[in-house]
Amino acid sequence: MASEHDTAVRTELIDRTQRSWNELRAAVDGLDDAQLGAAGPDGWSVKDHLVHLERWEAYLLAELAGRDGRSELGLAEGTENPETDDINEALRASHAELPAGEVRRRLDDTHARVTALLQTLDAAELERRRAWIAGNTYGHFDEHRDWIRSLGAATTG
C-alpha cells in the first residue's frame, strides 16, 4: 500500500507535468496545419518542436520501462555519446514529412503513456529520477512552449 508520502510525490509530479502539458497544448491547439509547418528563423517549425518533444518523451518512456531508449531517438545500438544538437537535428530531418495531424496524434499518445507509467512507478524511483523526468516532461514543455508561441504569433501576424 502506498504511503501518504508516496502518493504526495507522485501527485505533485503528475500535477506539475499536467499543468505544463496543458499550457503547451494551449499554445498549439489554436494553430492550423499550415502554421504548424511554417519554419521559423532557425529552420524549425512548431511541428518540428512537437516531434522533438514527442521523441524525447518516448525515450523517457522506454528508459523508465527498463528498455534502451536510444532507438526512440533514432540512434543505432552501440552509438556512444552523440551530441544532443546532432540528435535533435536528425530527429527533425527524419520526421519532416509527417503530417501535422499525425504529429499531434503521436504526441498525445506518447504523453498519455508517460502519464500512465508515472502513476505506477515507485515514489523512491520518481524522487531519484525527478530531475531527469522533469527534463523530458514539464521542464522540456516549458522550454519549447515559448518558442512555439513565438512561431505561432509570427505565422498569424
Q: What is the model's pLDDT at position 156?
A: 67
DSSP class of 44: -
Q: What are the percentages of helix, strand and coil residues in the chain, rounded to 5?
A: 75, 0, 25
Q: 104-136: per-residue pLDDT in tens?
A: 999 999 999 999 999 998 888 898 999 999 999
Instruction: Give 105's contacts (C-beta < 8 A, 6+ positions apart).
Output: none
Distance CA 104, CA 145 (A): 15
Strands in the chain per DSSP E:
none
Handedness of CA 18, 20, 23, 27 (dihedral sign): negative
Q: 134-147: per-residue pLDDT in tens?
A: 999 999 999 999 99
Q: How far apart are the first and last CA of the chain?
A: 54
Tell which residue, 116, 103, 104, has the closest CA to residue 18: 116
* For residue 92, pLDDT beyond 90: yes
- Total residue count of the chain as it appears in this document: 157
How many Cα atoms sit within 13 Å of 142 on the Cβ side?
A: 10
Question: Domain map of the chain by residue range?
Answer: 18-28+44-156
Q: What is the model's pLDDT at position 1?
A: 52
CA triple 24-123-51, angle to 5 deg: 25
